[in-house]
Structure formats: structure tokens, C-alpha cells
Amino acid sequence: MVAPLNVGIAGLGTVGAEVVRLIEQQARLLSARSGRSVRVVAVTARSKSKKRDLDLRGVSWAKNALELATDPGIDCFVELMGGSGDPALSAIGAALKSGKSVVTANKALIAKHGLRLAKWAEQHGVALNFEAAVGAAIPVIKTLREGLAGTGINRVYGILNGTCNYILTRMEQEGLSFAECLKDAQRLGYAEANPSFDVDGHDTAQKLAILASLAFGTKVAQNAVYVEGISSIKPEDLRAAEELGFRVKLLGVAVRTAKGIEQRVHPTMVPKSSSIAQVMGVTNAVTIDGDGIPPITLVGPGAGGAATASAVVADIVDVARGICAKPFGRPVERLRATSKAPMERHEGGYYIRLMARDLAGTAATIATRLAQQKISIESIVQRHPDGVDAIAANGKGSPVPVILITYATSEDAVHHAIEAVQRDKVISGRPQVIRIEKN
């Protein structure tokens, strides 16, 4: 008989409690799939006395995560406390160094200390699994690390934050402002009381840094990611996107270029015909472009107790099976350093919305400044707010929205052109610029 895999879980919040339930409910299935039984034998949490809908009879309680991590009676340490430092960092380090495999859902810790932890896992011949850290139930980590191990990756991009996707979906479908949708997201529990980590793009940046490492063999470096949030997006941008055949999504994009690996998080216009454009609400999605294969898009719940617990238990089953893959798909010593790619070098199409003064010569001035930067225009929409064609109206100098879609150009050229137009005083307010990501 093969000995059971004894699991210790640190953290009994929404995810931790669901992991305990899932292991109990699916005991026979997990045993059949892994060839050995999986059982929770020890736990720890901030409060032992807190009421939980769990049967923990026969399960021992450790005083803290460090004690649990070094308990000789467990084979696999599961960290579900969160946080980018201690106690999670010390506990995981202790578990790895004592020869125990580790499963975690902690994206912040992996983004900040993943290389150090992976090195310890390799040195001690144990697993460090973190599928639940990115996209919860979407198996994107295993897809990049194992399923596409024989494929060169050119680009990975996706919707990695359900809060932002929910807000943009509501804004588009109901014509509401960012502030209105954010307030509703907080009421429904999709957004935190302080939502800046989500809506400013930092949550997506942590996940993207992990995916980029797996895709391109680079060292995880969150500080190499350009980050821009969604608070500047207006309902009129979403209406214009609709008319022009696009949708606006907050994307994390990692792409191989001639100048290196570009990593960026920002609001993005994507063609409505693309798979990623169909993903609405709190759902997440990741598209992978690889050599010799059509793009692969993985879609599913990117957060929530049940979805995250599903990924955690899948990682535990891999440990029970004896699978011990390199955490980042290759030895840590072979991961290449990466630096932040200057966004001014980025090349692609752009959506530009200007509030142009409705005066003779304004359009010509804008066109001249764009031409000076060698920017070619794919389409232009110029209207009064009431829908009257601005060119045919007798304006009196009031601002008129002018929307431009450019062919591929550089970020630097776009900014120089806009700065020149602002100096010419033919526009008012702050121009809106949104990058376009083609299929």
C-alpha cells in the first residue's frame, strides 16, 4: 500500500476552508487519480475558536504557520494566508528546506520572492506549485510550463482581474461612469473598500510577471511591468469603441519583440471579433500565441473560493502523484534577467480622443502635427455631442470630440504629436489615448 499524502494547511479563510471540504468530499476521486489517498492532518489559522462549517475532528492544530511547515507529520504544506512577506515567506521557506512540497495561491509572494523559493525547491528536490496564483481555476500555469513545453511562445495576454472586467462590462452595457460601477462592484463584493490595487492595474501586473517568466524564461520582475489602470476610461470611449468594432479591456500583455520582452498592463482596445473581447463580467481569460499553432484562449473564473480551491487541490494531486516540475519551467539559474521596456518604444495602433475647438483650421493643424510624426490615420470620427457632423455645422469655438484610429506607430510619436497639438491650443482638456491590441 502507498502511504497517504499528509497535508497541512495554513489559512482557513474562504479558500482554505473550501480546500478542506473539497479534499474530504472528493477523497475517493483524488485517491483514484493520484494512486494514494490525500488527507488533511494539520491546520493553522489566526483564530482557532472562530466558527467554521468544517469537520476538523482528528485534525491537529499548529500554533503558527512556521510550526506547521516544519511538522514531521506532514508531507505537503499548503499556504493560503496571503501577503508578500512573513509569515508566509518564512513558513514556505522552512517547508521547502525541510523537504516538503509546497502549494500556494499567493501571487504577491511568488511575484516578489518566487525565484528564491523556486531555488530552494530545486535544491531540496520538492515541488513548489502555484497554479491558483494566476487565474484561479484557469490552468494557465500548467499550460505554459507543461502543455506548451515544446512550443516557442511569442505573446501572452489576457484579462487577469475580474473586478476591472466587471466594471468595464457594466460601463459598456449600461452607459454608467467608472465611479458608479466601482461603487456597485464594492457593494457586490467584487471590489475591496480600497480598490486601488485592482483598478490601478497592480494585481494584473503581479500575475503578468509570473506568466512572462513561464512563457519567456525570464526572471520574475514585477518592476519590469508598465502599469496603467482603468479610472480614466469614460463611457464615451466605450461607445466609440463599439462603433469602431472594438471593446475596451484591461489587459496584461507580455510579448517578445526585437528589443526584448515587453510587459505592460493598461486599458486596451481589442477587436470585437477576438475571443478575448467576448469575455464579460468577472470572468478571466488568457490568450497564448505560440510558434506554429493558432492562438489558444483559456477562459474561466479567475477568483472565488471554489475556483481557487479547485486549482489548489489540483496542485496537491500533482504532489501526490510524485510530479516535481521546475517551478518556472526551467532551472532558476537559466532564467534570464529582464528590464522594464520603455513604453515610448512600444509600437501599435492607437485610439486618440481629442476635444477639438470647432474653429477653422483645427482639423488641418491636427493633421499636420500627426504627419510630422509620420502617423497615418486609419479612421476619423468628428461629431458634435448631439450627433451633428461637426464639419457641416457652424461652430463657435466650443469643443467637439474628434476620434482618431491610427495605423501602427510608436508611443513616442503619439505623445510628441499630442504635445504639439496642445501647444497649438486647438484642443481643450486632456486627450484620451488607448492602445490597440490586434488579434
Give the active site residue among 207, 234, 340, 438: 207
Whether residue 417 contacts residue 375, with contact meaning beta carbons closer than 8 Å, is answered with yes
Whether residue 437 contacts residue 389, with contact meaning beta carbons closer than 8 Å, is answered with no
From the number of C-beta atoms within 10 Å of its C-beta (0-12, 13-18, 19+), residue 118 rates as buried
Element (H, E) at 319: helix 305-321
C-alpha–C-alpha distance, residues 244 and 272, integer Å: 9
Active-site annotation holds for 326: no
Whether residue 254 contacts residue 156, with contact meaning beta carbons closer than 8 Å, is answered with yes
Residue 280, Cβ neighbours under 10 Å: how many?
Answer: 16
Residue 365, Cβ neighbours under 10 Å: how many?
Answer: 18
C-alpha–C-alpha distance, residues 312 and 103, integer Å: 7
C-alpha–C-alpha distance, residues 141 and 154, integer Å: 16
Whether residue 190 contacts residue 163, with contact meaning beta carbons closer than 8 Å, is answered with yes
C-alpha–C-alpha distance, residues 44 and 68, integer Å: 7
Question: DSSP 3-state assignment of 6?
Answer: strand
Q: Which sequence positions are flagged as catalytic?
A: 207
